[in-house]
Amino acid sequence: MNCIFCEIAGRRSDASIVYEGDRVMAFMDIRPWTSGHLLVVPTRHATGLADLDPADGAAVFAVGQRIATALRNGPMRTEGVNLFLADGVAAGQEVFHVHLHVVPRTAGDGFGLRGVPSSPSRIALDQTAGVIRSSLT
Ligand code: AMP
Ligand code: ZN
């Protein structure tokens, strides 16, 4: 298997590392959306959410949260932070090793998710909630 993030986690490929622990690693994104944009990955390979060990997922989020705090408290101007994870091609995933984007934000930085909100009725929301609820395992 040829996985760039496994190569980075195994120190066989270059990365600008921010954090390294047993379960998790964080390094700078090579094509940052904003200055300071970085990725948090589980060191153990998982292609997507379906095969991600929930303990690894929890560790990824905890490190993302910690780095978000560091960004807000550190010298780089950070007025907000977006956490973003793409799971699957349709969601925009391009590297198939789970990763959490940590994106420092400042007003007017030009970054944003495109989306057009709709206005479903409560009945429609309840129906959708029921469908999803019945799929929970
Ligand atoms: P996604 O679309 O969520 O799969 O995002 C993949 C991200 O990985 C992109 O933002 C890329 O710029 C980033 N990326 C790809 N290769 C590397 C690499 N070798 N080192 C750091 N970031 C990378
Ligand atoms: Zn991998």
Closest Cα partner for 68 from 53, 49, 81?
A: 81
- Supply the pLDDT for residue 137: 81
Using the mean position of ligand 1's atoms as its centre, give its distance from the Cα of residue 80 in Å.
Answer: 21
Q: Which domains are present in the chain?
A: 4-109 (3.30.428.10)
Tell me what pLDDT residue 113 has: 86
Angstrom distances, CA of residue 117 to CA of 7, 57, 113, 114 = 39, 28, 12, 10
Going residue by residue through the chain, which has 137 residues, state the pLDDT in tens, using 9 for 90 and above: 799 999 999 999 999 999 999 999 999 999 999 999 999 999 999 999 999 999 999 999 999 999 999 999 999 999 999 999 999 999 999 999 999 999 999 999 999 888 999 999 999 999 999 999 999 98
Q: Whose CA is nearest to atom 12 of ligand 1?
A: 31
Active site residues: 99
Output DSSP code: residue 11: T
Question: Quick check: 26 and 41 in contact, CB under 8 A?
Answer: yes
Mutate to test the pocket of ligand 1, among 8, 33, 39 (most ligand atoms within 8 A of CB): 39
Please answer whether residues 38 and 67 qualify as being in contact, where contact means their C-beta atoms are separated by less than 8 angstroms. Answer: yes
Confirm if 45 and 3 have CB atoms less than 8 A apart: yes
In whole angstroms, what is the distance from residue 109 CA to residue 98 CA? 26
Helices (H), the chain: 4-9, 54-73, 122-135
Give the ligand whose atoms come closest to the C-alpha of residue 15: 1
pLDDT of residue 92: 96
Is residue 12 in contact with ligand 1, taking CB distance under 6 Å?
no
Supply the pLDDT for residue 1. Answer: 74
Of the chain, the end-to-end C-alpha distance in Å amounts to: 30
* Smallest CA separation from ligand 1 atom 22, residue: 29
Ligand 1 atom nearest to CA at 37: 10
Q: Which burial class, exposed, middle or buried, applies to 8 when counting CB atoms under 10 A from its CB (0-12, 13-18, 19+)? A: buried
